[in-house]
Amino acid sequence: MNDMKEKILVTGGTGYIGSHTVVELQNAGYEVVIIDNLSNSSRKVLDGIKNITGIMPAFVEGDCTDLKTLSTLFENHKGIKGIINFAASKAVGESVEKPLLYYRNNLVTLINLLELMPQYDVKGIVFSSSCTVYGEPDVNPIDETAPIKVATSPYGNTKQICEEIITDFIASGANIKSILLRYFNPIGAHPSAEIGELPNGIPNNLVPYITQTAAGIRKELTVFGNDYNTPDGTCIRDFIDVVDLARAHVVAMKRMLDNSDSDALEVFNLGTGNGLSVLQLIEAFEKASGVKVPYRIGERRAGDIEQIWANPKKANEILGWKAVVPIEETMSNAWKWQCRCAGN
C-alpha cells in the first residue's frame, strides 16, 4: 500500500499491546525491531506475528534498563527513526508491594531511550500512558485537558512521572518529538487468534477473568461491588479493542515522522467514547460466545475508580483515528483466543 520502510524500535514488542502494534506496523510497511526481556511474554509471540503478517520481526532479547544493551541495539540496527515504548511493569497491586522495582523498570527504561535518541538521530517516541493519570474524573467523558490527579499506586505514578520526564526533556530543547497515548481499558485479541493477552497466574483484569471462567479454569467471577453510583451499581470503563488501539500507534508514528508541522509534544486519549459497566461487559461476552459466565457479587476492590470513559474527539480529529470494532466482536475474539490457549 505504501513504500515506507522506516525502521521502528518497539520496546516490549512481544507483550500484549506491543505484539498487536508490531502486526499493524508491519502491515503498514514499517520495518520493526523488537526489544523485550521476556519478563511478561514469550518468544512464541514472534511466530504469531509471523503467521499473521508473513514477516518475522528482528528480535533482541534484552533489558531496556541496561543502557549498554540499548546502545548496542542502535549500533546493530542502524537507521531507527522512531520508538514505541511499551516496555514496563504494569501490575497495580504488585507496584504497591515492590515500588522500587516499578520505579526502576519504568523510569530507567524511558530515560535510557531518551538519552540515546539524539545520539542515534531517532526522531520520535510514542509513550504508553494510561487513563489512570486522571484518577476519579470529575466529569465523564474525560478529555486531555482534565486535571492530573494524585496517583493512587506507584504504577500510576510511574506513568505520571514518565509523562513529565518527556515533557521536561522536550522543553529543554531536545530535538525529538513525542506522543503520549493515554489508553483506557484495552481488551480482546487479534481476530486470527494468533496473538492475545497472556496473563500470568490468576488474572487481575476483568476480561481474562471472564474468559477463563467461561472456559472452566476459574470457578466463578467475582464482580467487585454493585453499590456504586452507576445505573446498575457496577463500575464503568471504556473498553477498547486492542487492534483499534494498535492502529492508533501507527497513525501516531506516521504523524511524528512525516508531519513537520505537528507539535513536538502531543497527548491523546485512546478510547471508544462509550462507557460500559462490568455487568454489561459480561452480558456482551455471553452474547458473543453463547457461554454463560458464573458470577457472584463481592466486595468493592480497594482503589477502584467508579466510572471513567474517554472523550476521544482529539484523537478522532487530529490523528484521524477512531475505534471501530464492535464490542461483541472484541469479546468473540477474546473467546477465540482463550479457546486457542486452552487447546495448546
Question: Is residue 224 at the binding interface for ligand UFG, with CB under 6 A as the rule?
Answer: yes
Residue with smaller CB distance to ligand NAD, 160 or 291: 160
Query: Binding marks (x or -) toward ligand UFG, 35..74, rule CB under 6 A?
Result: ----------------------------------------
267 interface partner picked from ligand NAD, ligand UFG, none, CB below 5 to 8 A per type = none
Question: Is residue 206 at the binding interface for ligand UFG, with CB under 6 A as the rule?
Answer: yes
Question: Is residue 208 at the binding interface for ligand NAD, with CB under 6 A as the rule?
Answer: no
What gap in Å lies between CA 212 and CA 196, rounded to an integer?
A: 13
Closest CB to ligand UFG: residue number:
235
Three cell numbers written together for 310: 474517554
Q: What is the smallest separation between the CB atom of 305 and ligand NAD, expressed in angstroms? A: 13
Question: Is residue 115 at the binding interface for ligand NAD, with CB under 6 A as the rule?
Answer: no
Single-letter code of the amino acid located at 126: V
Q: What is the smallest separation between the CB atom of 175 and ligand NAD, expressed in angstroms? A: 25
Clarify whether 155 is annotated catalytic.
Answer: yes
Task: Mark the segment that binds ligand NAD (CB under 6 A) among 32-40, 47-55, 169-177, 318-326.
Answer: 32-40
Residue by residue, DSSP assigns 94-158 as: HHHH-HHHHHIIIIIHHHHHHHHHHHTT--EEEEEEEGGGG-S-SSSSB-TTSPPPPPSSHHHHH
Among 186, 225, 273, 312, the residue binding ligand NAD under the rule CB under 6 A is: 186
Residue with smaller CB distance to ligand UFG, 191 or 233: 233
Residue recorded with cell 515533557? 167
Residue with smaller CB distance to ligand UFG, 1 or 150: 150
What gap in Å lies between CA 193 and CA 195, rounded to an integer?
A: 6
* Active-site choice (155, 183, 209, 228): 155
**Which residues are CB-contacts of 49 (< 8 A; sequence separation ≥ 6)?**
19, 22, 23, 26, 55, 56, 57, 194, 195
Residue recorded with cell 470513559? 309
Question: Is residue 37 at the binding interface for ligand NAD, with CB under 6 A as the rule?
Answer: yes
What gap in Å lies between CA 13 and CA 134, rounded to an integer?
A: 26
Cβ-contact 74, 80 below 8 angstroms:
yes
Residue with smaller CB distance to ligand UFG, 58 or 297: 297
Task: Mark the segment that binds ligand UFG (CB under 6 A) among 100-108, 222-230, 260-268, 328-336.
Answer: 222-230
Q: What is the smallest separation between the CB atom of 336 and ligand UFG, expressed in angstroms? A: 19
Q: CB-hemisphere CA count at 13 Å for 152?
A: 15
Q: 298 - beta bridge partners?
A: 224
Question: Is residue 162 at the binding interface for ligand UFG, with CB under 6 A as the rule?
Answer: no
Question: Is residue 310 at the binding interface for ligand UFG, with CB under 6 A as the rule?
Answer: no
DSSP state of 66: -
39 interface partner picked from ligand NAD, ligand UFG, none, CB below 5 to 8 A per type = ligand NAD
| Window 257 to 296, contacts with ligand UFG (CB under 6 A) | 278
Strand runs labelled E in the chain: 7-11, 31-36, 58-61, 80-85, 124-130, 177-183, 185-187, 221-224, 236-237, 239-241, 265-270, 276-277, 295-298
Cβ-contact 238, 185 below 8 angstroms:
yes
What b-and-e string marks burial along 53-62, b requiring 16 or more CB atoms within 10 Å of the CB? Answer: beeebbbbeb
Residues that bind ligand NAD (CB under 6 A): 11-12, 14-18, 35-41, 63-65, 86-90, 105, 109, 128, 130, 183, 185-186
Active-site positions read: 155
